[in-house]
Amino acid sequence: MDRNSNRNIEKGTAGKKRGGFTGRLGFVLAAAGSAVGLGNLWRFPYLAAKYGGGIFLLVYIVLALTFGSVLMTAEIALGRRTGQSAISAFSSIRPKWSFLGILCAVVPIIILPYYSVIGGWVCEYFFTFAAGNGAAAAADGFFESFIASPWKPLLFFALFVSVTFLVVLFGVEKGVEKSSRILMPALVILTIGVTVYSLTLPGTWEGVKYYLLPDFSRFSAKTVLAALGQLFYSMSLAMGIMITFGSYMKKDSSISSSVRQIELFDTGIALLAGLMIIPAAFAFSGGSPETLGQGPGLMFVALPKVFQSFGSVTGGILGGLFFALVIFAALTSAISLMETVVSILMDKFGLSRRRAAVIVYIGTLLLGIPSSLGFGALSGIRLFGMTILDFFDFLSNSVLMPVVAILTCVFLGYVAGCDTVLEEVEWTGRRRKENFFRVMIRYVCPVCIALILVSSVLSALGVLSL
């Protein structure tokens, strides 16, 4: 393939036109739209609370600056070099490696259904606030009884998936991207405002200390695994999404500065979300470890109480606005997940966009139902001690994504050669960075990720207690 050809408009494998990003800003915004979502606002804070606060934060930042930037650079560069989406990028270099493309495709198929279940929870909170019932949402037990009820979570889940489907079906992602230029900054500003306010509430300082000061006695292999899985999830890595994004990127845009900006944005919002939620959870629970370890409900339990403390009118408006913006952030991520699966079906099986989208829509609805019911009707079912939703989350983030990441490193480090991507990144002449990249891809990333993966799987199976 002529590497210097203009990839702005390109033929995909099924002969469909590939649109390109008009410039680096467009690329960064779209990639950030995929990266910033529930992972930052919902998942990061509850993991940080659960895995020791400051120590989790420290491990996460170190991993983001090393593993995160190396893997993201590698994926984007691989995509731009080959001009292909994940499913064919690997095989276009080495046909035998087509299995890795398929493995990449499995990850979004697992994530999308349960991601949409959480998206549905956010919708419920939005409607509750919009209807002026913020006080009910802030009451103890609201979250638990909502997720345990049979119909409501299912309906909101279906609503969330349907909106995602409509956007993908009509191909109006561009419109969504445009609105994200306004709505994402609005979310950031509102989050900063709520954070500042929540830090003035009595009893939050203990939480701030817990969140920001690392306590090394809380360090464990589990902390590292949780942080690593979160890193992949939050940055949309290890599932081929960034490869696909890279394939749309123009040759004269800088990969390394794009990576820096996406990382900064994504990590910044996650850290901020933690600061908004964890100290508030501390203040309202008296800092009891049970509340902090309660998992997926943390954001939903802590935030309504913060909004409530504004008084019912202001709190109601702010809460409604906030959850609306969270829905938007979640939608941009869900769209990128669904779009990935749809384009794989189109490329692989030559399906029309419409048919592929309908298949993914129905599949997502069916797969999401057990995750949603796992907190109510099906709460008796535990998979390795986890609820159904937690199990899917574990399967994608703690098992499949690490496997994909290791294989990607092996592919680039030993099969295709690091030069495949290094030539694509513009550090030419910067030996130190190149050497760092090679050492990371060939040795550090695969070995460390493999160690973490093995220990995590053993511990989930109950063979090892970490």
Helices (H), 240-297: 241-247, 255-285, 289-292
DSSP string, 20-46: --SSHHHHHHHHHHHHSSHIIIIIHHH
Q: For residue 73, which amino acid is it?
A: T
- Shortest distance, position 437 Cβ to ligand PHE, whole Å: 23
Nearest to 90 by CA among 78, 105, 72: 78
In terms of CB distance, is 164 or 285 closer to ligand PHE?
Answer: 164
Among 30, 31, 38, 168, binds ligand PHE (CB under 6 A): 38
Q: Does 35 bind ligand PHE (CB under 6 A)?
A: yes
Q: How far apart are CA 157 and CA 118, in angstroms?
A: 8
Question: What's the min distance (Å) between Cβ of 230 and ligand PHE?
Answer: 9
Query: Per-residue x/- marks for ligand PHE, 89-108, CB under 6 A?
Result: -------------------x
Q: How far is the CB of 240 from ligand PHE (least distance, A)?
A: 9
Asked if 149 and 376 touch (Cβ cutoff 8 Å), the reply is: yes
- For 326, the enclosing helix (H) or strand (E) is helix 312-349
Q: How far is the CB of 241 from ligand PHE (least distance, A)?
A: 5
Stretch that binds ligand PHE, among 199-207, 230-238, 366-374, 386-394 (CB under 6 A): 230-238
Q: What letter represents residue 174's amino acid?
A: K
Beta-ladder partners of 18: 10
Binding string, 183-222, against ligand PHE, x = CB under 6 A? ----------------------------------------
Q: Could you tell me what percentage of the chain is helix, strand and coil, using 3-state DSSP and rounding each to the nearest 5?
A: 75, 0, 20
Q: Is there a contact between 171 and 343 (Cβ–Cβ < 8 Å)?
A: no
User: Do 279 and 289 contact (CB within 8 A), yes or no?
Assistant: no
Which tokens in the block code for residue 211?
Answer: 């969140």
Given candidates 82, 84, 234, 244, which one binds ligand PHE under the rule CB under 6 A? Answer: 234
The nearer residue to ligand PHE, 57 or 111, going by C-beta atoms, is 111
> Which two three-digit tokens encode residue 34?
């995929």
Q: Which is nearer to ligand PHE, 29 or 422 (CB)?
A: 29
Which CB atom, from 38 or from 281, has the smaller least distance to ligand PHE? 38
- Binding of ligand PHE at residue 34 (CB under 6 A)? yes
3-state secondary structure of 69: helix
Residues 324-353 that bind ligand PHE (CB under 6 A): 333, 336-337
Q: Distance between CA 195 and CA 197 in Å, rounded?
A: 5
Which range binds ligand PHE by CB under 6 A, 38-46, 184-192, 313-321, 384-392? 38-46
Q: 386 pairs with which residues across the strands?
A: 383
Q: 193-221 burial by CB neighbour count: b if 16+ within 10 A, else e?
A: ebbebbbebeebeebbebbbeeeeeebee
For residue 336, what are its two tokens?
């990128």
* CA 240 to each of CA 71, 107, 139, 442: distance values in angstroms, whole numbers, following the listed order: 11, 9, 41, 19
Closer to ligand PHE by Cβ: residue 37 or 134: 37
One-letter amino acid identity for 105?
Answer: A
Output the smallest distance, CB 303 to ligand PHE, in A.
Answer: 17
Distance CA 303, CA 291 (A): 13
For the segment 236-255, give every residue that binds ligand PHE (CB under 6 A).
236, 239, 241
Q: Which of 63, 76, 111, 422 binds ligand PHE (CB under 6 A)?
A: 111
Task: Decide: is 119 part of the binding site for ligand PHE (CB under 6 A).
Answer: no
Q: How far is the CB of 236 from ligand PHE (least distance, A)?
A: 4
CA terminus-to-terminus distance, the chain:
48
Nearer to ligand PHE, 39 or 316 (CB): 39
Helices 431-439 and 69-82, packing angle to 10 deg: 100
Q: Considering the complex, state which of residue 204 and residue 396 has its C-beta at the smaller distance from ligand PHE.
A: 396
Q: Site for ligand PHE (CB under 6 A): which residue of 26, 29, 40, 110?
A: 40
Stretch that binds ligand PHE, among 34-42, 153-161, 176-184, 385-393 (CB under 6 A): 34-42
What is the spatial distance between Cα 48 and Cα 55, in angstroms, rounded to a whole number? 8
For ligand PHE, what does the binding mask look like between residues 385 and 424, x meaning CB under 6 A?
Answer: ----------------------------------------
Exactly one of 27, 157, 233, 307 binds ligand PHE (CB under 6 A); that residue is: 233
How many residues belong to the site for ligand PHE (CB under 6 A)?
16
Nearer to ligand PHE (CB atom), residue 226 or residue 337:
337
Instruction: Give the residue nearest to ligand PHE (CB).
Output: 39
> Among residues 105 and 301, whose Cβ is nearest to ligand PHE?
105
Residue type present at position 401: M
- Applying CB under 6 A, the residues found at the interface with ligand PHE are 34-35, 37-40, 108, 111, 233-234, 236, 239, 241, 333, 336-337
